[in-house]
Amino acid sequence: MRYKLLIEYDGSRYAGWQLQKKERSIQGELITAVTTVFGQPPVELYGSGRTDAGVHARGQVAHLEIADDRRLRPDQILIKLNSELSHDINILEVEPAHPKFHARFDVKERVYVYEISKRRNAFAKKYVWWVRDPLNIQNMRVAASLLAGFHDFKSFGDVSEPGQSTLVDLHRVDITESEDRIFITISGSHFLWKMVRRMVGILVEVGRGNMTPNEVELFLTEPSRTPAKYTAPPSGLFLQAVYYDK
């Protein structure tokens, strides 16, 4: 039986989503919980994307394939799995899925939100990037508008698989403010490894006045390793939502 899971997690204590041999991962914790509940490991457990170490999720999606004769209801599976998971991983929904549904390959849009704090914060250090310098939001928005669209993002990401294309269609790159926070929302069909954090880092450099929007645009036509030097910390990044065809 195949199920679709909606999951939220605090990635601070984990080495990312992907299963790893010597470090704790979100996928690894879920596999352990499934094995405990059903008495056997899952046939499949794939997420919509591989969030990096320290990155969080409010709307990660995974599919779970289990071989189980007990036929537990989705609400029972949710309760039993959550009872085995640590406090910083929480399954929000469990629903039956089509036998061929794939959480990663069927994605139409992924939405990430990066949160920047304008001030030192006693409670949110693990969930924001405190940028001490004043930022020119208008210049950042101009640069963000140049990044939206279908481009070669080789300058911004690393290829995680041999032969992987660096062409990405970004649906939007929006920057909003709310009191002492700045939110950078980036949505697209898919993302390269570290791409979102490097985009954020470059946008912050524009905000600081260390870089112009025109310089940012050149990264799309002239491959450069410069964005890698300004990679934003993982603490402020959230996988906000994942969308599929109805």
- CA distances, 65 to each of 50, 80, 89 (Å): 18, 16, 19
Q: Which domains does the chain have, with CATH numbers?
A: 2-96 (3.30.70.580), 108-244 (3.30.70.660)
What pLDDT, in 10s, does the model give residues 219-245? 999 999 999 999 999 999 999 999 998
Record the tokens describing residue 218, joined without a space: 């050149």
> What confidence score (pLDDT) does residue 15 get?
96
Mean pLDDT, range 144-163, rounded to an integer: 88
> What confidence score (pLDDT) does residue 69 get?
62
How much is the pTM?
0.94
What pLDDT, in 10s, does the model give residues 19-30? 998 999 999 999
Q: Which positions are catalytic?
A: 52
On whether the CB atoms of residues 123 and 115 are closer than 8 A, the answer is: no
| pLDDT at 194 exceeding the cut of 80 | yes
